[in-house]
Amino acid sequence: MRLLKFIPILTILASIFVGCNDDDISYAFEGISAPTDVNAVFDITQDDTGLVSITPSATSASSFEIYFGDTDNEEATVISPGSTAEHIYQEGTYTARVVAVGATGLTSEFSQVVVVSFRAPENLVVTLDQDTVNPAIVRVSASADFATLFDVYFGDVENEEPTIIMPGETVEHTYENPGDYTVRVVARGAGAATTETTQLVTITAATDPVTLPIDFESFTINYGFTSFGNATAQVIDNPNQLDINTSARVGQLTKPTGAEVWAGTFLQLENPIDFSTNKLFRVKVFAPKSGITVKLKVENATDANIGYEVDAVNTIANEWEELEFDFSAIDTNNEYQKVVIFFDFGVAGDDSVYLFDDVTLTTNMTASIEGVWKLAPEAGALGVGPAPGDTSWFACDDACVAERACYYDDLYVFDIDGTFSNVLGDQTWIEGWQGGSDACGTPVAPYDGNNVATYTYDQAAGTLTVNGTGAYIGLPKANNQGELPNVAVPSSITYNISFIDNNTISVIVESGAGVFWQYRLIRETYSTPIEGVWKLAPEAGALGVGPAPGDTSWFACDDACVAERACYYNDLYVFSADGTFSNVLNGESWIEGWQGGSDACGTPVTPHDGSNPATYTYDQSAGTVTITGTGAYIGLAKANNQGELPNVAVPGAITYDITFHDVNTMSVIVEAGSGVFWQYRLIRL
């Protein structure tokens, strides 16, 4: 401890703000605020005199007013910045105030309780808390009768200077190494006598194994780097919390002068890496220079001859950048348990320091969930078991697939605008809990695709959330809470998904603890140009009417119109391979006045609500498609071959002229009476 007459006690931050009225402020000082960062050092002698010194400081303070708090109607002791006020207290407890005064008269202040006692402190109580996230961090606070301050010794250095705290204060300390340490707390008053106590704290070494992804944030994982070629590696606090990486801790590799061109480091994982689905490594790096080769390698745990490596070149210096390493050609018959990284490979060390973080193994494609999916019509695509990949409790075999053909043609539509649709046609598999007989039947609400639904795909997390009552993937009964009817109907369900390839995904939902329903979905393919799920292109000019094909001079829906009719632009027109046609309106569409609406979004009105069965006939040579079924339509429900509703009878069929611009875009035109051409531009999902 320093052998000085006065013992420094505490720096107190100001929190109470006192302002002035607008009338008191000259316009010359507009924008100038009260002093900030007010603090003070309190000193007390331990010679039974009761002498206390107060040294205040603040930003933008021109003077300080000190109130010692031991006299009624006390006049302030005014001192200038950098000065110290001294005062002799009698034994007792007082509240001292420090007021910082700015150039404009604006003030800020704080108060501090000062205990002056010449008795030895009594009833010393020390609270020592060890951090649950980082066990190397401990927090100490103390209280005692007749104590002015506490000296805290953490016991991890020789000739330790104490950390001094006031009653009610807490001090935090981080131990650098594991071990047993004695924390000593000494309670001090204004007299020479002291009271002290000790507590033992044990700092354990990190022992948890390393697993992917590696983010260096855990204090219980043993990031035991093995470095070679004269490189060194360690985990440090992130010195560059910028841009794409604001995490607290990162890996650091130093390649000193004289280090080998192949110098690097590795971590050994708890288990071999699973390359069965994901084959793309992503690593965030921070390098002092650009254009260097960063090599990522995986190796067998015991045989260094078994390995695979991929190079990437960074493009920026002194900024975080995420590099990708494609391991799609790796031999998955081998086991790899070490993750090895090299910086500036092929170049000798030059004292450069490199940072790396978030080592993640993910899909080797830019996965897009958008589109139309269905359950793969093959054995094993539907099943349930006690763990992902295990469908030992039930797996739908070939006979099951054939029996449930009405279910295997159900479509799951992920629109580009974030809406989701269950397209079931007029039949799907209806289980007993739905009132069915475990057989094909008419879809049952709310699992009939008639409610509004959306989806959120988080590629990084590998999750897909379907939002909307009755919306689902696979089986409607399986959700995150359990299985219907044993739980409430959920308003959303989150599934774990992984891409097997661009057109195949694995979808899993844990329906209660240890019950994993699993589905393998494939992207829908088409054998004719018109098959598939279509929607009006959400762009200006995709809907219009005029006196001739190609002429929409009478009305063309512009950008504002498209935005206003968003509920209409996500209506789906489904041309199934079996010749059935469906209007899928998702519980909402544009309802015109002749339908009883107000030219606004609203609930679909029968018979134009998609509830009636319909078919289609595509004549490629004639360039026409005929929709057969009362209330079935493309584009606008009112426009048909006889004219416009309600001026003509509801037709049983409508024939449209169609032209394909490309495989996913078509023009659809209907002459609704002589010389009235309604025109639509549709895109395939």
Residue 381's domain is classified under what CATH number? 2.40.128.280
Examine the domain organization and report whether 549 and 675 are in the same domain: yes
Cβ–Cβ under 8 Å, residues 375 and 381: yes
pLDDT for position 40: 84
**In angstroms, rounded to a whole number, what is the distance separating the alpha carbons of residues 56 and 14?**
11
Examine the domain organization and report whether 469 and 564 are in the same domain: no
Residue 639 lies in a domain: yes
Structure tokens at 665: 């875009």
Examine the domain organization and report whether 383 and 514 are in the same domain: yes
Q: pLDDT averaged over the chain?
A: 90
Nearby residues of 83 by Cβ (< 8 Å), 6 or more positions away: 55, 64
Cβ–Cβ under 8 Å, residues 596 and 609: no
Top pLDDT among 191 and 537 is at: 537
Examine the domain organization and report whether 460 and 557 are in the same domain: no
Residue 216 lies in a domain: no
Residue 35 lies in a domain: yes
Q: What is the pLDDT of residues 76-101, one digit of tens each?
A: 999 999 999 999 999 899 999 999 99
Examine the domain organization and report whether 581 and 543 are in the same domain: yes
Residue 411 lies in a domain: yes
| Cis? peptide before 56, omega within 30° of 0 | no
Would the pLDDT of 539 be above 50? yes
pLDDT for position 519: 97
Q: Which of 468, 494, 523 lies at the terminal end of a domain, its last residue?
A: 523
Would the pLDDT of 5 be above 50? no
Examine the domain organization and report whether 111 and 11 are in the same domain: yes
pLDDT for position 367: 62
**Nearest by Cα to 517 from 495, 500, 535, 542:** 495
For residues 243-258, average pLDDT: 95
Residue 213 lies in a domain: no
Examine the domain organization and report whether 502 and 375 are in the same domain: yes
What's the distance, Cα to Cα, between the start and end of the chain in Å? 75
pLDDT for position 410: 94
**CATH number of the domain residue 177 falls in:** 2.60.40.10
Cβ–Cβ under 8 Å, residues 516 and 386: yes
pLDDT for position 285: 97
Examine the domain organization and report whether 488 and 507 are in the same domain: yes
**In angstroms, rounded to a whole number, what is the distance separating the alpha carbons of residues 630 and 408?**
27
Q: What is the pLDDT of residues 115-132, one digit of tens each?
A: 888 888 999 999 999 998
CA angle 343, 345, 351 (to 5 degrees): 55
Would the pLDDT of 186 be above 50? yes
pLDDT for position 110: 85
Would the pLDDT of 195 be above 70? yes
Number of other CB atoms surrounding residue 222 within 10 Å: 12
Residue 47 lies in a domain: yes
Q: What is the pTM of this model?
A: 0.48
Q: Which of 75, 100, 116 lies at the terminal end of a domain, its last residue?
A: 116
Examine the domain organization and report whether 483 and 385 are in the same domain: yes
CA angle 176, 180, 184 (to 5 degrees): 90
Examine the domain organization and report whether 587 and 627 are in the same domain: yes
Residue 211 lies in a domain: no
Examine the domain organization and report whether 457 and 570 are in the same domain: no
Where does the pLDDT of residue 276 fall: very low under 50, low under 70, confident under 90, or very high at 90 and above? confident
Residue 96 lies in a domain: yes
Total count of domains within the chain:
5
3-class secondary structure, 120: coil
pLDDT for position 223: 95
pLDDT for position 158: 92
Q: What is the pLDDT of residues 320-365, one digit of tens each?
A: 999 999 998 999 999 999 999 999 999 999 999 999 999 999 875 5
| Number of helices (H), then strands (E), in the chain | 4, 50
**CATH number of the domain residue 600 falls in:** 2.40.128
pLDDT for position 117: 86
Say what percent of the chain tops pLDDT 90.
77
For residues 458-463, average pLDDT: 86
3-state helix/strand/coil string of 231-270: CEEEEEECCCCECCECCCEEEEEEECCCCCCCCEEEEEEC
Structure tokens at 376: 């793969």
Examine the domain organization and report whether 586 and 679 are in the same domain: yes
Question: What's the distance, CA 511 to chain centroid?
Answer: 23
Q: What is the DSSP letter of 476?
A: T
Q: What is the pLDDT of residues 511-530, one digit of tens each?
A: 989 999 999 999 988 888 99
For residues 417-426, average pLDDT: 90
Where does the pLDDT of residue 33 fall: very low under 50, low under 70, confident under 90, or very high at 90 and above? confident
Q: Which of 327, 362, 397 lies at the terminal end of a domain, its last residue?
A: 362
pLDDT for position 68: 95
pLDDT for position 47: 82
Structural domain including 12 reads 7-116
**In angstroms, rounded to a whole number, what is the distance separating the alpha carbons of residues 391 and 398?**
15
